[in-house]
Chains A and B, each alone.
Chain A
Amino acid sequence: MPRVQLGEIALARSGDKGNNSNIGVIARTPALYDFLKRELTSEIVKQLFREICKGEVTRYELPNLHSLNFVLRDSLGGGGTRSLITDPQGKVHGAALLHMELEVPTDLLP
């Protein structure tokens, strides 16, 4: 199976709520949504963001939009005006996740 970056099979948008960030992931096809629902678990996202996200990761499913939503707790260095980090609003957390590599069956590739 080819190893591809998540960005090839999905899109993402991220933002902030206080000291938590969220990453919405949109599968590029309905079949890829089923694949991502199986493969892109909250555990995998937590492991990937282990140095950025100090709290839990919760995953929500939106099958109608072929999308998953991840909420990353304590991931913004304090959030709001308190944070000194470059990305206190999690603006690039989505782009970061799209760098993740996974093995995708050839027939699912867009």
Chain B
Amino acid sequence: MTDTTQRVVRIANAQGFWGDSRLGPLRMAQEGPVDYLTFDYLAELSLSIMQKQKMRDPRAGYARDFIQVLESILPTCQQQGIRIIANAAGVNPEACRDAILQAVQRLGLSGIRVGVVSGDDILGELDALIASGETFTNLDSGESIDSVRERITSANVYIGAQPIVAALEQGADIVVTGRVADPSIVLAPLIHEFGWSMTDYDKLAAGTIMGHLVECGPQCTGGNFTDWHRVPDMATIGFPIVEACADGSFVVTKHEGTGGLVDTQTVTSQLLYELGDPENYLSPDCVADFTSIQIEQEGENRVRLSGIRGRAPTPTCKVSMSYSDGYKVLATLCIAGPDVVAKAQALAEIVFERLAMLDSPIPEENRFLELFGTNVLYQGIVPAAEAPHEILMRIGARSQDRRALSLLSAEIAPLLTSGPPGVTGYAGGRARPSEVVGYWPALVSRENVKTYVTVEEV
């Protein structure tokens, strides 16, 4: 049985990704009890965007949205003693810290301790690390890094909970980090609050699974859920909160009065999200075993998870690198029937033939044509509807040559007057070629990872 008098630590994730709804953070702080608010800003390729921003402006390169969010919630958080952990520092922790300090001053607040965790950014040390024997072989493809070395634009180690714990022990009210493993942001305050040992792997695995559950915000409270018609009031959907106990068991819930649904099915759905081998969920802190989770409905919108087991982490840490991989462009046109498919194919041929006439041929393997409305999402899975009356033609290409892609884009509008009839929906202007950022996952040995923690008061 659960001891209801047991102390719980409440952690709420208020941000599932860079660009998530701004309604989340303030509501989380105001609408019910919370001890820690966490923010996840980093998808796989976010850091390469931030490196580019920093190259253009040495004061940029972190999640600037976080500063605005912070200004809106900080007075409430200070009043209620809510501490904040965010991987918002991107590739420019100093600039992020300065922006936070300025925000605190603008709000006229004082006595706030700001912790910064860095050391994840190894872009400047790649050559030295390679010289010392690190290979950075591509984890997915097994390719050697030599083929992309000159084009690498960001390289960040997924660091674990420990440096965040160190910042919290030094009294930080706000901790910002660069790349840390998403679940470590949630695990760290639990280690700090409950004094969990870094070798108590069952508890570390429990905290890791808590982090996994809440990292995509309302995807665990009824968002993106198969039985969506059962989910009440999605407009006011509550972000998830974990109420953690010292023994590693925890309840997933949401604030009273918010929309959404927390039941064993919504929570299980999120447990399975972006999951690989369930017995070997790797994090820098431990290996968590998802097949050990016991799950039960404890009350309305309250789901209890317990029994979680874990093992020691692997001797390596994951590194996420990005490299520039040429360009791509994608244009869309609406095609009306009859004969939508034949017309779209003719239009695509016309475009690529004209590009060849402009001395900018696109080789067959770099061309892209998708006829949305002809069953592209369920291709081969459900039978296609017979002859649709309208489709969206998505035409594009990849190339190392940006100019060729601009020409492709410019050849779309002329199709309306010089191709088959029934073509419309060209209103958004020319599509712009964009850079393709290649993703290069690799490993680095633990002893080559050094983290840094600073805490200062403003």
Which residues of A are at the interface with B, using a C-beta cutoff of 8 A? 7, 11-13, 15-20, 22, 24, 26, 48-52, 60-65, 67, 69, 71, 79-82, 84-87, 91-92, 94-100
Contacts and interface: CB of A to CB of B under 8 A. Distances in A.
B370 A86 contact: yes
B438 interface: yes
Given A12-B226, A51-B380, A60-B277, 7 more contacts: A16-B274, A18-B439, A18-B441, A81-B434, A81-B437, A86-B394, A96-B382
B24 to A, nearest CB: 20
Interface stretch (B52-60, B61-69, B99-107, B290-298): B290-298
B396 A84 contact: yes
A51 B379 contact: yes
A99 B381 contact: yes
Contact of B377 (A24, A62, A69, A96): A96
Interface residues of B, number: 49
Contacts of B275: 22, 24, 60, 69
B71 interface: no
A95 B269 CA distance: 13
B44 A67 contact: no
A18 B441 CA distance: 9
B381 A26 contact: no
Interface string B185-229: 000000000000000000000000000000000000000111100
Nearest to B293: A64
B278 A49 contact: no
B368 A84 contact: yes
Nearest to B267: A65
Contacts of A52: 379-381
B268 A71 contact: no
A20 B439 CA distance: 13
B328 A84 contact: yes
Nearest to B269: A13
Nearest to B369: A84
Interface in B290-308: 290-295
A81 B436 contact: yes
A28 to B, nearest CB: 8
Contact of B226 (A50, A79, A98): A98
A69 B226 contact: no
Contacts of B226: 7, 11-13, 94-95, 98
B340 to A, nearest CB: 17
A3 to B, nearest CB: 14
Count chain A CB atoms within 10 A of each CB in B290, B291, B381 and give the residue with the most: B381
B271 A11 contact: no
A49 to B, nearest CB: 7
Contact of A81 (B45, B225, B376): B45
Given A50-B380, A99-B381, A100-B381, A13 B368 contact: no
Contact of B44 (A13, A22, A24, A80): A80
Contacts of A91: 224
A13 B224 contact: yes
Which 5 A-B pairs rank lowest in CB-CB distance, beginning with the nearest? A24-B272, A51-B380, A11-B226, A15-B274, A13-B269
B398 interface: yes
B328 A64 contact: no
Contacts of A12: 226, 269
11 contacts: A11-B265, A13-B225, A13-B270, A65-B290, A67-B268, A80-B439, A81-B437, A82-B328, A86-B372, A91-B224, A97-B381
B325 interface: yes
Contact of B376 (A15, A82, A85): A85
B191 to A, nearest CB: 25
Interface in B217-274: 224-227, 265, 268-274
Given A11-B269, A84-B398, A79 B381 contact: no
Nearest to A81: B437
A84 B381 contact: no
Interface in B357-407: 368, 370, 372, 376-382, 394, 396, 398
Contacts of B370: 84-86
B394 A84 contact: yes
Count chain A CB atoms within 10 A of each CB in B272, B291, B370, B380 and give the residue with the most: B272
A26 B295 CA distance: 13
B111 interface: no
B140 interface: yes
Given A7-B226, A80-B437, A19 B268 contact: no
Given A7-B226, A13-B273, A49-B381, A62 B290 contact: yes
A36 B17 CA distance: 34
A48 B381 contact: yes
A24 B381 contact: no
Contacts of A16: 274
Nearest to B272: A24
Contacts of A65: 268, 271-272, 290, 293, 295
A66 B430 CA distance: 49
